Amino acid sequence: MPSRRDILKATGGLVLATGGSWLASHAHAAVPNPPGLAPLPAGAVASGDLEAIAGKLPLIKRSWRPPNYETPLSYFSEELTPNRAFFVRYHLAGIPAEIAADKWTLKIGGEAAATPFELSFDQLKHDFPAVEVVAVNQCSGNRRGLFEPHVAGVEWGVGAMGNARWKGARLKDVLAKAGLKKEALEIALNGADGPIMPATPDFQKSIPVWKALDENTLVAYEMNGEPLPHWNGFPARIVVPGWTGTYWMKHIVSINAISKPFDNFWVKSAYRIPVGKFPLIDHFTSQMTDVNEPITEMVVNSLITNIDTGQQVPVDRPFEVKGIAWDGGRGIADVEISADGGRSWRSATLGTDYGRFSFRRFSQAFTPTERGALIVMARATNRAGATQTMELILNPAGYHHNVVQRIAINAV
């Protein structure tokens, strides 16, 4: 039988999903720039075809090795993002073939755990209380491609995110069985994906113990009432509501309690932001330096979902502005809409509240009274008082893009 290394070599590092070819279909369709924001780099527009990988609807391809695909704007018209349209993000090309649930095990241990043990999929589902949380999973670099000047990395538009109802066991319940020692500082996480080249650092992360013990942090095995899709972490993944997706480890295989700051490239060097740049509440203090710190919670943001640049609307007839807003778990307090380029604002009607970690829909109607150009904008504020920015906050890795959209339309 060929080894995992032989399979990786034969496929160029991309292990095929069980049951068919990795690429299901390919469409050479020009994907437009997101409305009301800076344009993507020309190369990102040219290469951003709609492409379907096994088990997914056509998504916007940003890279194929490793696979990085974003959700088209049309799927954000509702609070919950369909599993088949949910974005795909990998750092490394050594992706496991689909893992049989009955063959999967999760190792829980580390030098700061008193009683290490292994967990089967059946035990994960039946030995711990099942809980659900609706939460946004957003890549830290969502909208990176819209930075000016452009920065290095996957040139995402607005679709490196999705909102789902996650079901699983609380991580704190799993850790309780392992018996955390008093000196436990961080919880290190490792998934089944890995590097192709020996010199490439394996993608591993850690979170502070206090975040691991939060009642909303899960070892999840379901997404929107179904088993996790392969490309979103089957059989189980870590869900860290409110924090960016870098901590949401897919295909989780080990969880270790450690008493010292985790010494790993993806924590100590990558996914870091300048200290003091953003209005954050959550800080990963054991990994902070004088100049930078790990990215943690998402900043407040919104996205208009039903209006495109250059769209025509009739004079003396109402048109509606719709969209979604979200943040790092404080909850959306207000979304204001302007149809005159920010000279005046009106509070939108907010949709169903699925919880403080979820997308929140908004809508507001306007009636143009004369012909001419209009600039439509949406500005979200969370319950901690943070509001979207009007100007980009520059940072080297292109994180936390939450600039208010300015969509130019015409009343005719």
What pLDDT score does 166 carry? 99
Residue 252, C-beta contacts closer than 8 angstroms, at least 6 positions apart: 106, 189, 190, 191, 192, 219, 233, 236, 237, 238
Domains delineated in the chain: 4-89 (no CATH), 101-294 (3.90.420.10), 301-411 (2.60.40.650)
The pLDDT value given to residue 24: 53
Least trusted range by pLDDT, from 129-133, 148-152, 215-219: 148-152
Per DSSP bridges, beta strands 252-258 and 105-109 are: parallel
Alpha-carbon gap, residue 13 to 391, rounded angstroms: 40
Name which of 2-6, 122-126, 192-196 the model is least confident about: 2-6
Tokens of 137: 């999973």
Tell whether the model's pLDDT for residue 248 goes beyond 90.
yes
Whole-number pLDDT of residue 48: 86
- State yes or no: pLDDT of 28 exceeds 60: no
Residue 164 pLDDT > 60: yes
Q: Which two tokens stand for residue 69?
A: 């695909």
Q: Given this model, what pLDDT does residue 98 score?
A: 85
pLDDT at 333 exceeding the cut of 90: yes
